[in-house]
């Protein structure tokens, strides 16, 4: 039985935030340039250390606000990383979180002020430490979620075209999807409201805009389903 904490090893606990966004065409990830050693000047996830007076969720919120100015974002815990030499400066365990946000909801000037930058996931630079592994795991989790629950409410603007929704799925899955099959699958989910409005930027005839039926979306997300394209 432990009765003397002072004899135990002290280990740092870090929190790293993986923020995905969508700009109607591509799935993107928000990164920052590290401003201290080791690996100063290299691209990194948003990260920091857990403080004594906060839990992991609070630490993730604080780190995101401090490094990007983004707040009130729902983040989901992904995984813990405890490889002994993952951080060359100190023995550090990291707990990773990931979030999905609509890029249009966040002020670009504010992002620039905090030296953060959006990259296409397919073109993101090499990251420090084991952050590339974290991102890969987050993408795999996101791909798995597309087969079990609806995706898009957090990433798309309130009104969107069916093409934009399909582009989102293609960006997440990193593959082309048959248009007719996709539309049939989405319509079968019964979570969209087709509007009388059109987006006239997509073609001469325009494309009808859609909205998510929030109640049906949340119910379908809670119930789960099998969505195979």
Residues 88-131: tens digit of each pLDDT: 999 999 999 999 998 887 766 566 677 789 999 999 999 999 99
pLDDT at 108: 62
Secondary structure element (H or E) that encloses residue 15, with its range:
strand 12-22
pLDDT at 122: 92
Specify if 88 maps to a domain.
yes
Distance (Å, whole) CA 219 – CA 205:
34
Secondary structure element (H or E) that encloses residue 125, with its range:
none
| Closest alpha carbon to 49 in 20, 19, 17, 78 | 17
Which of 115, 148, 181 lies at the terminal end of a domain, its last residue? 148
pLDDT at 110: 60
pLDDT at 186: 93
Which of 126, 148, 170 lies at the terminal end of a domain, its last residue? 148
pLDDT at 166: 95
C-alpha dist (Å) from residue 100 to 18, 30, 142, 149: 9, 11, 9, 14
pLDDT at 109: 55
Single pTM value for the model? 0.91
pLDDT at 111: 67
Asked if residue 20 lies in contact with residue 28, where contact means CB atoms within 8 angstroms, the answer is: yes
Q: What's the CATH code of the domain at 216?
A: 1.10.10.10
pLDDT at 113: 75
Which of 99, 122, 148 lies at the terminal end of a domain, its last residue? 148
pLDDT at 35: 87
Residues of the chain with pLDDT under 50: none
Q: Which domain holds residue 180?
A: 160-223
Residues 27-48: tens digit of each pLDDT: 999 999 998 899 999 999 999 9
At a CB cut-off of 8 Å and minimum separation 6, what does 154 contact?
A: 74, 99, 100, 101, 102
Same domain, 64 and 168: no
pLDDT at 200: 84
Specify if 229 maps to a domain.
no
Distance (Å, whole) CA 106 – CA 68:
10
């Amino acid at each position: 039985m432990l009765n003397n904490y002072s004899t135990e090893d002290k280990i740092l606990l870090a929190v790293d935030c993986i923020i995905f966004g969508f700009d109607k065409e591509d799935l993107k990830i928000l990164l920052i340039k590290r401003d201290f050693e080791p690996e100063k000047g290299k691209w990194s996830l948003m990260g920091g250390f857990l403080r004594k007076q906060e839990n992991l969720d609070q630490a993730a919120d604080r780190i995101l606000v401090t490094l990007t100015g983004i707040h009130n974002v729902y983040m989901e815990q992904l995984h813990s990383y405890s490889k002994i030499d993952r951080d060359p400066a100190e023995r550090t365990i990291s707990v990773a979180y990931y979030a999905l946000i609509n890029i249009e909801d966040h002020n670009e000037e504010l992002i620039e002020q905090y030296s953060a930058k959006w990259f296409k996931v397919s073109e993101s630079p090499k990251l420090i430490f084991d952050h590339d592994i974290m991102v890969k795991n987050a993408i795999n989790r996101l791909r798995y979620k597309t087969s079990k629950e609806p995706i898009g409410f957090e990433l798309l603007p309130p009104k969107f075209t069916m093409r934009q929704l399909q582009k989102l799925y293609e960006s997440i899955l990193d593959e082309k999807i048959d248009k007719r099959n996709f539309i049939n699958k989405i319509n079968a989910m019964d979570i969209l409201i087709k509007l009388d409005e059109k987006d006239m930027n997509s073609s001469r005839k325009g494309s009808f805009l859609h909205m998510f039926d929030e109640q049906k979306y949340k119910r379908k997300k809670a119930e789960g389903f099998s969505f195979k394209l």
